[in-house]
Amino acid sequence: MTKLNPNTMRVWGLILTLGFSALAESIKGQGTIVYVTPQPVPYYSAFYPGTLDFNLDIDGDGTTDFILRSNDPGWSINNTVLIPQGGNSIVSMGSYLANMNNGDVIGSSLDPVYQWSQGNPPLSLVALLLDPQPVEEGNFAYQESGYIGFDVVKNGMNYYGWISVSSPGQGGLPGDAATYGELVNWAFQTSPNTPILVGQVPEPSTVALIIVGASVVLLSGKRKGQEKCPRDARPTA
């Protein structure tokens, strides 16, 4: 009969204790961040021939939270807008949709350069003139990537989040999010009225961290035991 090492028993006892504690906390419904990679990927193009809409259901509840629209007919030039639905809001900067920085706080209080908007401030405006280079306006102009901040309102509660915008380059040229972009992923708080940082993603679960840490401890202990054991006394395959 194999005799268990006392240290091994203590470690596994700690795993069970902390594991049950973490499980109990999760059962209480602690707020977490949800990270989403949409498929297919919504995209926009200022040069799309006509109007192109993508309905964004941020939390997957079957309700459209925002409409990503290429060439809204309300503008006389090429454009891209993100239109909040219901009581939802987006973060703007000046007259345009804000291109937020990684680490910015999205919550009831914003950095003074930002404002909450329930309208549809354009992501970009693009004018095709006689010059072959289009004239671009907006906070995403000539940028390869950026972030959009949003607030989804459910039952009077605010759920803050961010959307990552990427404009892949083509033909060796850098991307330009004013003319074309993809909403590659987003994340949002499931805890109401809780701020989120731009770019913030879910943290590893407590249980996973406990198991990884315990495995390291057990492996370390096993190796030390083998080092103390005479070579000719070690089991062979």
* CB distance 127 to 135 below 8 Å: yes
Torsion of CA 49, 140, 169, 54, to 10 degrees: -40
Q: Is the pLDDT reported for residue 8 higher than 80?
A: no
Please give the pLDDT value at position 164. Answer: 98
Q: Is the pLDDT reported for residue 136 higher than 90?
A: yes
| pTM, 2 dp | 0.75
Compute the average pLDDT of residues 184-200: 97
More confident residue, 209 or 70: 70
Please give the pLDDT value at position 173. Answer: 78
What is the CA 232 to chain-centroid distance, rounded?
55
Q: Is the pLDDT reported for residue 13 higher than 70?
A: no
Please give the pLDDT value at position 131. Answer: 62
What is the CA 181 to chain-centroid distance, rounded?
16
Compute the average pLDDT of residues 30-57: 93
- Rounded Cα distance between 108 and 179, Å, is 31
pLDDT for 211-230, tens place per residue? Answer: 445 444 444 555 555 555 45
What is the CA 29 to chain-centroid distance, rounded?
20
Identify the band that residue 171 occupies on the pLDDT scale cut at 50, 70 and 90. confident
Half-sphere exposure of 189 (CA within 13 A, CB side): 24
Task: Give the mean pLDDT of the chain.
Answer: 82
Please give the pLDDT value at position 168. Answer: 93
Identify the band that residue 88 occupies on the pLDDT scale cut at 50, 70 and 90. very high
